Structure 1
């Protein structure tokens, strides 16, 4: 009888376990939604079994974000490697919109974290390597000043061999030794030209079962992007190409997730292999992808002595059992995908996931200044958000933003602003580069009337305007007229709420309302996401935020931002399917 009961119980439990396992091994991509390009990820058992990922930051500051997770699904901003202008002062002088810090590699070795990255101004082409270290990845201030060294090309990666030699690998595919104390470099040599030999970049070396495995991206980060791998018994080669190359790609498919590549591999606490790569949610049309290059996750099967087998990247994924779902992870910032409910309380700081485009003007921002509690004061920059194409002189911008992390979202701020001079402006923006952005501003303009003395009268207006002047080919070749409306009667003397909403996968809507009647919305304009796709920003993605400018004039009126809100309304993962902002599928 006992045996029958045991068997009966087991038969009852097995489906439940199978169901639980299926749920716990399922997730949706991207795991780091929004602009999170060129991912590099590791697992560190010594840090309470935590995973860490980093992504490219280009011209944003602070830069080189580090995300931490214990379940591969809930990712929290842990720190920024680059949090002090003195670490990479070149960022302030970079005028090319796609220049800056490209493709970080994150590694952990003997109790220390290493983040290595390349800087390029793009024009002229020159590459510099920066290597940062820390023993505390949860504190931005704990990251070191960089070890600086010249590079022949981009995408540096670091590898320690068993004999203690430290190797540097970078695009080309080059290898050379590096002294981590002096930055002295050994001779550089090309160790593999790749599978197709077309734009070989993003190399990473892994040692397993007596082989050195060299994995790289190829084809450029466009529709032809793919990942390939080779191996050798000697780190310097010759390398044998995997007969199954490419091992990861969505090229020549109809998949929603495209441009898959620039991958990194890592193990979890159960020795299962995983991979992270970049992808764009564009479909093969590759015209509308305002969120840019995002981070996707996939399981990897890597048997002893064999080649790794990487699961194809899809919106819905399943694979190895995921660690138990938890948000018990340290960090300086919010979890990716969480909403913003920010009221700038006295004594608080600018949230750590907020970024600027290059370095902002000194003292341009203050939280809860005297007389304006629960606001963010923005002092205007002389320059506005737009630059000529290409920009020739880097200008400081009073601009603060956060990554658009949802296909569909609503963003709003309340604004107090009492300008005195013509063209003083404050507003909200959906921003890709200085040559591609959508803005809704409160601006002081001429009314067309004159006072009794004949002086031209000025008044507050709402202005929606689109900037689409990239130096590279644009995905949108039409014209959207600027819309200017006098501030509606009754709106004076109270904050004005400015809204941006991604109403669907392809369009943004801009509107305004008085906080006295927040539902009485004045729709100012719509614009397609293709303006925020490609052009001068093919490697980055859209950010949303607030700005203040005198538009080249003499105005110095501060604006006060309050009630900052960002709420995700869903992720499109392909085939018309929309899922909640969290990538976790299981209960």
Structure 2
């Protein structure tokens, strides 16, 4: 029996893990998707279930206007004094400027906050602002009862350094007030991009774990230790503790940004982010996912992987049965709350986007701003978690003109998506077509030739097979699908395919959208949403085989 990594498939990056008694919890980043932060629970480290999205009130989080791949970065989950503590960054600006072609100032807004709750699935507190000096904040609770806030330090000034080291400052856990002055405790190694700090104390040593090398193929987990919290820190003699850099054949790439947890039996495990590239294009449409594996402490007091190679493990032998069944969701919108897999973008006011009560048995989306908006998009979607899947929905929508559109969407961000939608021509006659927005050249926008379609409900379908994506439709009740002739490149909905200078830290979603650029809020009613994956075991074996062939 094995844990088949990643344990959290699809867009679930920057894992932070904590154990409370026999319960394990992992918090992951959600960026511009609302509600903020995902927390999964497990009793055996193999099987995980979503139990909370704690940032769900307007008073806690409002991301309207946040750029793509900004919002909630790298939450840190800890437990102390009978409470859960969550530290996170809300990124409001991801800007950079150049002066005469050289590197200029890079002004960014990283606001770090603290919330707490007695129960992980309870109502978390309103946030307390801590600082804005950098991102990836984390709490360290020392054995003397004091707590310390860590974060990377951002240097916006022109020059070679942006990632200026890890800073520490004491924090009062009762008020969130920071005490004393911040101090740089670690400047990083030659890998650079020093971020994602976590601190642990073991046998009189302070062990500092950081992410380095950037979040692409050179990503790595690096460790250093000191007898004093403030350093100086001695770097691990073996180099990175865990990384896939230099291992292009490994099924798990981009391994880094880790965190440690100790089991009741004293075993140490590391959770970390990773990516699974498509075999042919080498692109990660699933975004950055979360994996886990056991580690060991050596006689010299340093942490290593079990085989001392530092390699991420695609499969981990365990004594429990891990659930590896493919997702087979057939969602009917019969309740008054949005089903668990779905999220929306940026706004803390979902009642402006959708309703499950306006027409019982349907998800009603109100036509809002364009799909490319950074403010109020009526878009509800779930993560793509496999290379092969199909999704379909049934929509009732009566557009009056070309500015109104509703349908099925495959979405990465505002610069890359495929939108199969119903709209109307200049005579008000319904038609169906695809809006393809892709990061090719300086950005590409394509509308496929419109196809007239009759009155009534319409079923929409997408089939994705690795890089290949196609759309189909049929009037509700019809037996055969009508497939559009166009074939689309699914790999463009990935971190690696991008316009210059933009952050790409999320992953592909599939779902439903409705826009009304006339500002009249015309609604679309969706009766169901199905998401069905190919069996995971088959997909894993075939992807590994294909990747081996591509690499020769």
Answer yes or no: same fold by TM over 0.5.
Answer: yes
State the alpha-carbon separation in 1 of the partners of residues 508 and 58 from structure 2.
23
Question: By how many angstroms is 1:537 displaced?
Answer: 5.0
- Residues 294 and 286 from structure 1, CA distance in 2 versus in 1: closer, same or farther, beyond 3 angstroms? farther
- Residues 146 and 80 from structure 1, CA distance in 2 versus in 1: closer, same or farther, beyond 3 angstroms? same
Gaps of 5+ in 2: 96-106, 153-164, 547-552
Question: By how many angstroms is 1:272 displaced?
Answer: 1.4
Residue 262 of structure 1, aligned match among 257, 260, 283 = 257
Partner of residue 129, structure 1? 112
Within-5 A mapping of 1:326-337: none
Partner of residue 229, structure 1? 223
Partner of residue 473, structure 2? 512
State the alpha-carbon separation in 2 of the partners of residues 487 and 295 from structure 1.
44
- Residues 477 and 577 from structure 1, CA distance in 2 versus in 1: closer, same or farther, beyond 3 angstroms? farther
Partner of residue 172, structure 2? 179
- Which secondary structure does the structure 2 equivalent of 1:182 belong to? coil
- The answer on 1:309 being equivalent to 2:304 is yes
Partner of residue 444, structure 1? 424
1:253–1:284 contact (8 Å) kept in structure 2: no
Question: By how many angstroms is 1:30 displaced?
Answer: 1.0
Within-5 A mapping of 1:362-511: 362-369=351-358, 372-381=359-368, 383-387=369-373, 394-446=374-426, 457-469=427-439, 481-488=446-453, 491-493=454-456, 495-503=457-465, 505-511=466-472
Partner of residue 11, structure 1? none
State the alpha-carbon separation in 1 of the partners of residues 76 and 28 from structure 2.
8
State the alpha-carbon separation in 1 of the partners of residues 519 and 138 from structure 2.
47
- The answer on 1:273 being equivalent to 2:253 is no
1:39–1:276 contact (8 Å) kept in structure 2: yes
Residue 86 of structure 1, aligned match among 46, 59, 64 = 59
State the alpha-carbon separation in 1 of the partners of residues 146 and 313 from structure 2.
40
Partner of residue 150, structure 2? 169
2:29–2:74 contact (8 Å) kept in structure 1: yes
- Residues 289 and 326 from structure 1, CA distance in 2 versus in 1: closer, same or farther, beyond 3 angstroms? closer
State the alpha-carbon separation in 1 of the partners of residues 302 and 281 from structure 2.
31
Relative to structure 2, which stretch is displaced further, 354-363 or 77-86?
Answer: 354-363
Question: By how many angstroms is 1:368 displaced?
Answer: 4.3
Within-5 A mapping of 1:41-56: 41-45=17-21, 49-56=22-29
Partner of residue 355, structure 1? 343
Partner of residue 152, structure 1? 133
Residue 65 of structure 1, aligned match among 34, 38, 56 = 38
How many residues matched? 509
State the alpha-carbon separation in 2 of the partners of residues 423 and 130 from structure 1.
39
TM-score, L = length of structure 1: 0.81
State the alpha-carbon separation in 1 of the partners of residues 283 and 11 from structure 2.
14
Partner deviation per Cα, 1:263-321 (whole Å, 9 max, x = no partner):
011122322111111111127997521111111111111246621112555563225x3
Gaps of 5+ in 1: 1-22, 328-334, 388-393, 447-456, 580-587
Residue 108 of structure 1, aligned match among 58, 65, 79 = 79
State the alpha-carbon separation in 2 of the partners of residues 337 and 42 from structure 1.
27
Partner of residue 508, structure 2? 542
Partner deviation per Cα, 1:140-187 (whole Å, 9 max, x = no partner):
xx1111121113111111011121111111112111111223333221
- Which secondary structure does the structure 2 equivalent of 1:82 belong to? coil
Residue 568 of structure 1, aligned match among 511, 529, 533 = 533
State the alpha-carbon separation in 2 of the partners of residues 57 and 478 from structure 1.
25
State the alpha-carbon separation in 2 of the partners of residues 520 and 287 from structure 1.
31
TM-score, L = length of structure 2: 0.86
Within-5 A mapping of 1:185-334: 185=178, 186-196=180-190, 198-254=192-248, 255-282=250-277, 287-303=282-298, 306-311=301-306, 312-314=310-312, 316-319=314-317, 321-322=318-319, 324-325=320-321
State the alpha-carbon separation in 2 of the partners of residues 69 and 532 from structure 1.
31
Partner deviation per Cα, 1:505-554 (whole Å, 9 max, x = no partner):
2222221122211433333533213321222452110111101111x225
Partner deviation per Cα, 1:334-384 (whole Å, 9 max, x = no partner):
x99643222111x43112331111115643311142xx4311111110x21
- Residues 484 and 117 from structure 1, CA distance in 2 versus in 1: closer, same or farther, beyond 3 angstroms? same
Alignment RMSD (CA, Å): 2.5
Partner of residue 13, structure 1? none
Partner of residue 333, structure 2? 344
1:412–1:566 contact (8 Å) kept in structure 2: yes
Which one has the largest radius of gyration? 1
